[in-house]
Structure 1
Amino acid sequence: MLEKIENIICETLVELNEELENENFGNPNSKTKLYGTNGMDSLALVSFITDLEERISDEFEKDIVLADEKAMSAKTSPFRSVESLTIYIKSLLEE
């Protein structure tokens, strides 16, 4: 399941990168930083989250909300890397 989620995140990043042209997202992996320094700005993050929620819903047939109170108030943001977001999405799918 983790590998499948990570692949969806990376595919979404590659598609988003066609608009962003951020060299860090051209060939993403589990260590790719998502937000902040060398990552997306807040507007790109919103677009990314929207696209990702839709893909996850299509693939796993379960609707999830990534930008909720739990994620935004977490001590360590799930949006810091592909790896942290993968783990966070897995936890949401298992609820």
Structure 2
Amino acid sequence: MEEKIKNIIIKALQNLAEELENENLAHPNDTTKIYGIDGNLDSLALVSFITDLEEMIDVEFGKNITLADEKAMSSRNSPFKDVASLTQYIQNLL
């Protein structure tokens, strides 16, 4: 399941990389920064990314989850820091 989640995140980032013309997101891996310090997405791009990701997870796993809840957004260790932390966060939600 972890590998499937990671692949979905990577695909969503690659899709966004094309839209934003952001080369840093063209070939994401576990340590690719998503949001926050040195992150590749601003707040508007993060919203788009989260929406796409939630849809992709629903299609793949048949589960409707909310990634941007109050707990996630106010956490000191943001799950949106990098690919690895987001993978773990989604796995815990599923």
Q: TM-score, normalised by structure 1?
A: 0.94
3-state SS of 2:71 partner: helix
Give structure 1 stretches of 5+ with no counterpart.
none
**Gaps spanning 5+ residues in structure 2: where?**
none
CA displacement, residues 58-95 of structure 1 (integer Å, 9 cap, x when unaligned): 100011000001101212000000000000000000xx
Percent identity, aligned pairs only, is: 65
1:25-44 equivalent positions in 2, closer than 5 A: 25-36=25-36, 37-44=38-45
Alignment RMSD: 0.8
Q: Distance in 2 between matches of 1:38 and 1:45?
A: 10
Deviation string 1:8-60 (CA, Å, 9 cap, x unpaired) is 00001101111111111010011100013241000000000000000001100
Query: Which TM-score applies when normalising by structure 2?
Result: 0.95
Q: Residue in 2 aligned with 1:18?
A: 18
Equivalenced residue count is 93
Deviates most, 80-89 or 31-40: 31-40
